[in-house]
Chains A and B, each alone.
With several copies, the nearest count.
Chain A
Amino acid sequence: MTLDILYFAWLRERIGAPREQIETSAATVRDLVAELVARGERHAAALSDLGAVRVAVDQVLSDLDAPLGGAREVAFFPPMTGG
């Protein structure tokens, strides 16, 4: 499937781009992270500490074990600091 991957805040800065499109057969967010980390140093650095990373699948807060079947957009970002 084709997935839009979005990055925000310092994850965007470490990756060096706000979004990318990838072809993947990852079943879960965790599988997707493994594929992304294998892409190179920037991805590996950005996603090295998963405790400091939050994820949204199709714009809904989710977790590493969430299934990706049917998903179109996955976003990675640090814990939010709104308000």
Chain B
Amino acid sequence: MRILVQTEPFDATALMQGFGAGAGAVVTFTGLVRDDDGLVALEIEHYPGMTEASLTRHAQAAAERFALSDVLVAHRHGRIAVGEPIMMVATAARHRREAFDAADFLMDWLKSRAPFWKREIGAEGPRGWVVAKDTDEAALDRWTNPQ
């Protein structure tokens, strides 16, 4: 298991080196800053200490729930320019269903339970804080209230 919280860009290739050795299925998710409405960058604030502890706890929970052989979460904070990766999740399992579901679950959890807050930066300067979406909350509910 590997948890990275950093301001620097991460090197996905280096991170994935040897990841999932022995597994049958590896899924990665990468979130990037989209070029929306003239956005120049995102600025991400986080809660040092709580961030690392909660990412570790939830990566472990995902590993147990989905029988993962490996899991990785990397998340940046600070200023991140349009086009750059913000975060990455990787999961390794014997079969594809578990690898997909674990990555999906970790993303839903990260979106609304990990202590990160985003602010948009335009050419004119900082804009407002990004407001949490109800759909993110609903997405997380899927994992506790299966239909």
Contacts and interface: CB of A to CB of B under 8 A. Distances in A.
B45 interface: yes
Interface in B83-117: 86-87, 96, 107, 110-117
Interface residues of A, number: 17
A82 B47 contact: no
- Looking at chain B's contact residues, the main secondary structure is mixed
A6 B47 contact: yes
Interface string B30-57: 0100000000000011110110011000
B118 interface: yes
A36 interface: no
B132 A78 contact: yes
Given A56-B115, A59-B53, A82 B131 contact: no
Q: Which of A8, A61, A83 has the most CB of B within 10 A?
A: A83
Contact of A80 (B53, B86, B107, B112): B112
Interface string A69-83: 000000101111111
A60 B50 CA distance: 7
Interface of B: 31, 44-47, 49-50, 53-54, 75, 86-87, 96, 107, 110-119, 129-132
Given A80-B117, A82-B44, 5 more contacts: A9-B117, A9-B119, A81-B117, A82-B110, A82-B117
